[in-house]
């Protein structure tokens, strides 16, 4: 059974780009809450952050102010919580975190990202020996340049960035990579939904996201001991985001897409 990692503080306001709003995760939880067990994460430790970033980078994020710092360490902690959960349970996990992370490099940040949530989580599991080999698939519309930089030259982690694919072959590109993927211990997914038909990319339907989830879930069961976790990256149309994430989660756990109607909220 899929689990969702979420903290109320992901709905906090902090200084960032105008489109990176609390409404994004509110929409997601409006669709997922009640369907899945929710696990509340803790902030990442400095030790965790320093495996992916330089001390100077941490200082720079601290200078952005308390609100940004607290949000950023809690998002990194959410990704780490998701990675640990799936490592133990071998069930898929979705981390509905803000801020996103895939543009954050070792010593730089931008694009609404402060810490590289995916890199912090996988480097912790690689460090303590929970996993020896990992794969990251990034299907956000934008290049996961921070993740690419951090894992550059690290043979323990295979990285596929789908953003370079032509719109028409986006899904085929993921399928091809997954076919060729060797056995790994865990699959991390940088799940950005800004390629959605009604988002900036104007390309993928909810049914496409369901299909992508299904491909990744099947591959994880076949090649990664069922260990797969997804961490929210982009997706900026709150009205559509929750439905797209729900469709993706249904696919990830190998279930049909039966209903993408948002649940009634009190």
Our finding on whether 142 is near Zn ion (CB under 5 A) is: yes
Backbone angles phi, psi at 143, to 5 degrees: -65, 135
Our finding on whether 141 is near Zn ion (CB under 5 A) is: yes
Q: Count the Cβ atoms, other than its own, within 10 Å of residue 26.
A: 16
Across the chain, how many H-helices and E-strands are there?
Answer: 9, 7
The one among 20, 48, 138, 140 contacting Zn ion by CB under 5 A: 140
Strands 93-95 and 186-191: unpaired
Our finding on whether 232 is near Zn ion (CB under 5 A) is: no
Our finding on whether 84 is near Zn ion (CB under 5 A) is: no
CA distance 196 to 90: 29
Binding mask 187-226 for Zn ion (x = CB under 5 A): -----x-x--------------------------------
Torsion, Cα 86 139 218 77, to 10 degrees, reads: 0
Our finding on whether 235 is near Zn ion (CB under 5 A) is: no
Binding mask 87-126 for Zn ion (x = CB under 5 A): ----------------------------------------
Q: Which is nearer to Zn ion, 142 or 210 (CB)?
A: 142
Length of the chain: 266
Q: Which is nearer to Zn ion, 30 or 101 (CB)?
A: 101
Phi-psi region of 180 (alpha: psi -120 to 50; beta: other; left: phi over 0): alpha
Backbone angles phi, psi at 139, to 5 degrees: -110, 20
Mark the segment that binds Zn ion (CB under 5 A) among 10-18, 175-183, 185-193, 223-231: 185-193
Binding site for Zn ion (CB under 5 A): 140-142, 192, 194, 234
């Amino acid at each position: 059974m899929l689990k969702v990692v979420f903290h109320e503080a992901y709905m906090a306001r902090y200084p960032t780009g105008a489109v990176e709003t609390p409404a994004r995760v509110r929409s997601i939880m409006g669709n997922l809450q009640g369907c899945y067990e929710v696990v509340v994460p803790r902030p990442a430790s400095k030790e965790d952050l320093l495996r992916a970033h330089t001390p100077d980078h941490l200082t720079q994020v601290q200078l952005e102010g308390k609100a940004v710092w607290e949000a950023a360490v809690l998002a990194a902690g959410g990704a780490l919580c998701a990675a640990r959960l799936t490592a133990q349970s071998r069930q898929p996990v979705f981390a509905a975190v803000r801020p996103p992370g895939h543009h954050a490099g070792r010593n730089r940040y931008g694009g609404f990202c402060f810490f590289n949530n995916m890199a912090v989580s996988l480097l912790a599991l690689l460090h303590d020996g929970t996993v020896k080999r990992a794969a990251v698939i990034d299907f956000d519309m934008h290049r996961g340049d921070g993740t690419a930089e951090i894992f550059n030259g690290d043979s323990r982690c295979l990285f596929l960035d789908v953003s370079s694919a032509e719109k028409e072959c986006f899904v085929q590109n993921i399928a091809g990579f997954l076919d060729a993927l060797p056995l790994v211990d865990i699959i991390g997914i940088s799940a950005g939904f800004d390629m959605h038909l009604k988002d900036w990319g104007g390309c993928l339907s909810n049914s496409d996201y369901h299909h992508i989830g299904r491909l990744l879930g099947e591959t994880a069961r076949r090649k990664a001991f069922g260990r797969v976790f997804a961490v929210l990256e982009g997706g900026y149309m709150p009205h559509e985001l929750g439905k797209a994430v729900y469709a993706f989660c249904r696919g990830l756990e190998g279930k049909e897409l039966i209903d993408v109607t948002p649940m009634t909220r009190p």
